[in-house]
Chains A and B, each alone.
Chain A
Amino acid sequence: MSTSQLALSVLLLPVVGAILLAGRGWRLPRTFTKIVGPGVVWASFAATLVLFFNNASGDFTYWTWIKSGSFEVPFNLLVDNLSIFMCLVITGVGALIVTYSVGYMEHEDGPSYARFFTYMDVFIFSMLLLVLAGNFVFLIVGWAMVGLSSYLLIGFWYQRRSAVLAARKAFVMNVIGDAGMILGTFVLFVSYQAITYSGVFRAIAGLHECVYPRACIAPLAHPLDSPTLELAAFLLLVGAIAKSAQLPLHTWLPDAMEGPTPVSALIHAATMVTAGVYLIGRMHPIYDIATYAHGTVAIVGAVTALFAATIAIVQTDIKRVLAYSTMSQIGYMFLAVGIGAYAAGFFHLLAHAFFKALLFMAAGNVIHAMHDEQDMRKYGGLFRQLPRTSWSFLIGSLALVGVIPLVGFFSKEQILGAALSKPDDSLALAVWVIGAATALITGFYTGRMWWMAFGGKPSPERPVAVPHEARLVMMVPVLILAALSVVGGFIQTRALGIGPSSFSDFLFPVLGRMSWEEGAGVVVAGLVTMALATLLFLAARRFYVERSWKPWSSRLPWAQRLLERKYYFDEIYDSAFVRPMDGIADVGLRDIEKPVFDGVVVGTGRAAVAGASSLSLTQSGYFRNYVLVFVGGAVVAAVLLLIRANS
């Protein structure tokens, strides 16, 4: 099979699955859904592996979608190491999660079960389209479809009002991002008359004296001022912020936990929320020149990381802790790509996909065992009763904290090391400080989470006294990801200053190399940070295992409230945007819709009826009247004839 066919099959296999399962899929036996649903994703993964091992690359155009004057939009897929990497993550981790959900969603009835897998396959397809697209239009198509899939999956249990509201919130915020993306694309098209990546990037390289696609990273002889690119970069950044739930478009992510846990694992940990990072990485020729926007990326990332970590401290729902943790870790990725350490950012994306999906699925196992109880205060003492889940969760948690030798250490410390060692960049230093502080807080809240759930004695409010481990189909993906979290770090050990850099080597053809080298001091700083975070992890035990979980919150009640209310973001947005829109909508309904539009429609009907009834008066029913009218007409006709004859 040729590369272009392979690439297309990677993209389309999930669609086949979705189509097979949609509509009448639930009429077939459930086994069909169980095989097709994850099966197509595994098939897609296999195809991606073939591409990977063949070092495939190329820009393949399959057909031209729009052709209108100079505006030509082809359907093309760009296969390079970056997109292959993303596809591996999406299909690999995605396949594990979809397989997991075969067991997790078992309690759903027939139509719902098939519907779930349909939506999951649609999501996988959309995400693949997003990363494989070779031009901005299909990027946006994938982008929007991912938002749609997210909406469908968050609101999967649509009988729950909270789920529906959460889905709507996610969708609306995503649309704000979509608007930014579209406007950014407009700016780029107007400036460069191209809509494909190769077209746009070549145009930029030509105008700004870089060598496509890599060398724009190198510091340029004369720094360029490019307002157009800055504008485009900022607009695209809006999209990235919305999709990746960074400040200020972040409020939808915690609410998105209303969806089933596999959804949270796949969409809101491993793949969709990383789309923003992918975007910045893919658009790096733009961001290398648009330095202000580039810096903004780093700032947004760092601030969000810290912000989310602080909120995670007070969450009681296990999934919310993980949600804020995701927000925080993606902040790290933004931080990395924001300072130019692209490979580091993507490495953390990979690591995060491993351990966050692991954590969500393990949490799903716990939730399942606890009969859908998600409040951590009602857990406690699960370590002895659920050994495999506990160990997996522990591995995931330590990876999140960044403990050596798990993958999280290598990825996070590489980012922090790059930030610390970047020369002549005060911004990098500032974000390093924030990032390091966040790492410490991460240690704390992760520890709190683990100890509350698994440590100590069982809470008296426990719904299930003797929980049992999850089934095989739910356990195996968890174990696989745990293994990956353990060994995954060893492909890129730059954080220790020695060892392989396979990952950044792999992405070099697309992303180039970091323009500076880390020194030895960075390694030390990294190890120190890790040690401190680990200490905090253990320290959390004292707070939570002994069930004394309000020691400092009683001393600082305002802080507790601030964090619990998520810094009042939801309230601010509600009064600033939601209420006014509701007001406008009400006014519109009352004063515009009803009188004008309904008036016109109903009025037309009434006018017609009135006209008809007045005309019907001529139908008197009397024969002689009618004859009279005939004769009158004949007279008139005769008069006209005479006039015509005489004139």
Chain B
Amino acid sequence: MSGLSIGGSQIDASWFLILAAILFIIGTAGVLVRRNPLVILICIELMLNAANLTLVVFSLQLHNLEGQLFALMSMTVAAAEAVVGLAILVDIFHVRDVEDIDELSEMKG
């Protein structure tokens, strides 16, 4: 049975999964294409959100609370990661004005 009962009616879970997939892919595209480091971090958050959505969908589908718990943990981790990432960026911005992530290529070779 691929159905979820939401608010009394049956909806196919696959739609939600596809939505999550699309969000994830959009996020990936953003990471690949955009050159502003901040925007890249934002796109990563988007990908994380998409993953959370997938987790919750499965949690409801399988009637198992683990998925939601995992999503909570994931959010926590994402928050922590965003904090640290931003701190690093701030550090770099102190030193030089980075507009393009391609400028940060000293780890060459």
Contact = CB atoms under 8 A, between A and B. Distances in A.
Tell me if chains A and B make direct contact, with any CB pair below 8 A: yes
Nearest to A634: B28
Interface residues of B, number: 13
A621 B31 contact: no
B105 interface: yes
A620 B28 contact: no
A577 interface: no
B91 interface: no
Contact of B109 (A619, A623, A624, A627): A619
Given A621-B109, A622-B105, A623-B40, 8 more contacts: A621-B105, A623-B101, A623-B105, A624-B31, A624-B32, A624-B102, A631-B28, A631-B32
Interface in B13-53: 28, 31-32, 35, 40
B39 to A, nearest CB: 12
Nearest to B35: A624
The contact size tier of chain A is 10 to 19
Interface string A595-631: 0000000000000000000001101111110011001
Interface of B: 28, 31-32, 35, 40, 101-102, 104-109
Contacts, number: 30
A72 to B, nearest CB: 64
Which 5 interchain pairs have the tightest Cβ spacing? A621-B108, A621-B105, A616-B109, A621-B107, A623-B101
Contacts of A619: 107-109
10 contacts: A619-B107, A619-B108, A620-B105, A621-B106, A622-B102, A622-B105, A623-B101, A624-B32, A624-B35, A624-B102
B108 A620 contact: yes
Contacts of A616: 109
A623 B32 contact: no
B105 A627 contact: no
A621 B109 CA distance: 7
Contacts of B102: 622-624
A38 to B, nearest CB: 71
A572 to B, nearest CB: 65
Contacts of B35: 624
Contacts of B31: 624, 627
A627 B37 CA distance: 13
Interface string A91-135: 000000000000000000000000000000000000000000000
Contacts of B105: 620-623
B40 to A, nearest CB: 8
Contact of A624 (B101, B106, B108): B101
A627 B107 contact: no
A627 B106 contact: no
A635 to B, nearest CB: 10
Given A622-B102, A623-B101, A628 B107 contact: no
Interface in A419-442: none
A54 B108 CA distance: 88
Nearest to A617: B109
A396 B108 CA distance: 88
A513 B5 CA distance: 122
Contacts of B40: 623
A621 B105 CA distance: 4
A616 B104 CA distance: 18
Contacts of A631: 28, 32
Nearest to B31: A627
A621 B106 CA distance: 6
A624 B29 CA distance: 11
